Amino acid sequence: MRTVVSIGGSVLVPDVDPERVESYADVIESLDADGHTLGTVVGGGPTAREYITTARDLGANEIELDQLGIAVTRLNARLLVAALDERAAPTPPEDYETGGEAIRRGDVPVMGGVVAGQTTDTVGTAFAEYVDADLVVFATNVPGVYDADPDSDPDATKYDEITASELATLVAQTGVDAGSNAPVDLLAAKLVERSGIRALVLDGTDPAAVERAIRTGEHDGTTVVPADANGPPAEWNDE
Ligand code: UTP
C-alpha cells in the first residue's frame, strides 16, 4: 500500500528534541520493512511560527514569511532524514517530481514546503495525488475533524467519517480565518476531494497510533471518504 504521511511540525518537533523524531523514524522504518511504500511531509511547527512572527515585526512581506516558513519545514524535515539514516532520500525534495523519483528508487522522501501561499497539508495531498497514493494521513495536534471549533464550542462533535466534499464545505465555512482551528487547510481539502484518495485526520502525538492507522485502518480520528470509494484498502481486511 502506498501512503503519504503529513506530519505537523507541532507534532514532530514541538521542541527541538530527538525523542519524537526518533519514534516517528522507528514507525516509518517498521512500515517500510514490512513493504509499505511511504512518502512523508513535515510541517514547520512552533519554530516556523517564531521565525514568521519575528520577521513580520521586522517588516517582511507575506511571501517572504512563507519562504521563511518553507525553510523551517525543510529544517524539520532534515531532522527526520537524520533519524531515518540511509532509508531516507538525503535531501528534502523541493518538488513533487524529485519526491516521486525518490519513491521509485526505493527511498523514503521527506518533503517540507514547496511554494508560498499554502501549508504542508496541501503539499501532503498534492504529493499523494502525484504518486497515486492509496492513502494520505494528516498527523495533526487535534483529534480529528469537528463540526465546530472544539476550543470555543463545548458541543462540538468529532466526525468518525466525513465525505471529502463535506470536508471541503466545512473548511470553507470555518477554516479561512487566520488562527482558525481547521484541521486541514482549504486547498488541501479541495485536493482530497479532487483526488479521490482516502484521507485520515488524527492526533499524531502518539506515532504508534499513526502506525496502527496505516497498518489496519483503525484510529480514533476522522476518515475522509472519497465520493466513489470502493471501500477500504484490501490490505486492511488482511490485518
Ligand atoms: P506548515 O504547513 O507547517 O504550517 O508550514 P502550519 O499550518 O503552521 O502547521 P504545523 O504547525 O506545522 O502543524 C509553516 C509555514 O510555512 C509556509 C506557510 O507560511 C506556513 O504557515 N509554507 C509551508 C508555504 O508557504 N508553502 C508550503 O508549501 C508549506
Question: pLDDT tens digit string along 164-188?
Answer: 999 999 998 875 554 456 789 999 9
* Smallest CA separation from ligand 1 atom 15, residue: 69
**Looking at per-residue confidence, does 62 or 148 come out higher?**
62
Q: How far apart are CA 146 and CA 109, in angstroms?
A: 31
What pLDDT is stored for residue 159 in this prediction?
Answer: 96
Ligand 1 cavity residues, CB under 6 Å: 8-10, 43-45, 48, 65-66, 69-70, 73, 113-120, 123
* Smallest CA separation from ligand 1 atom 7, residue: 119
Q: How far apart are CA 146 and CA 156, in angstroms?
A: 6
What pLDDT is stored for residue 237 in this prediction?
Answer: 75
Return the bridge partners of 88, or none.
108
Which ligand 1 atom sits nearest the alpha carbon of residue 114? Answer: 28
pLDDT in tens, 189-225: 999 999 999 999 999 999 999 999 999 999 999 999 9
Q: For residue 95, report the distance from its CA to the centre of ligand 1, in Å.
A: 15
85 — alpha (psi -120 to 50), left (phi > 0) or beta? left
Domain tally, the chain: 1
* pLDDT, mean over the chain: 93
Residue with cell 487547510: 185
Nearest to 119 by CA among 173, 59, 180: 180
What is this structure's pTM?
Answer: 0.95
What pLDDT is stored for residue 163 in this prediction?
Answer: 96
Q: For residue 47, report the distance from its CA to the centre of ligand 1, in Å.
A: 11
What pLDDT is stored for residue 228 in this prediction?
Answer: 74
The residue type of 166 is E
Q: For residue 114, report the distance from its CA to the centre of ligand 1, in Å.
A: 10
CATH code, domain carrying 157: 3.40.1160.10
What pLDDT is stored for residue 239 in this prediction?
Answer: 58
Residue 83 has pLDDT above 90, yes or no: yes
Q: For residue 34, report the distance from its CA to the centre of ligand 1, in Å.
A: 31
Find the domain containing 26 and state its range: 2-238
Q: For residue 237, report the distance from its CA to the centre of ligand 1, in Å.
A: 35
Which ligand 1 atom sits nearest the alpha carbon of residue 121? Answer: 2
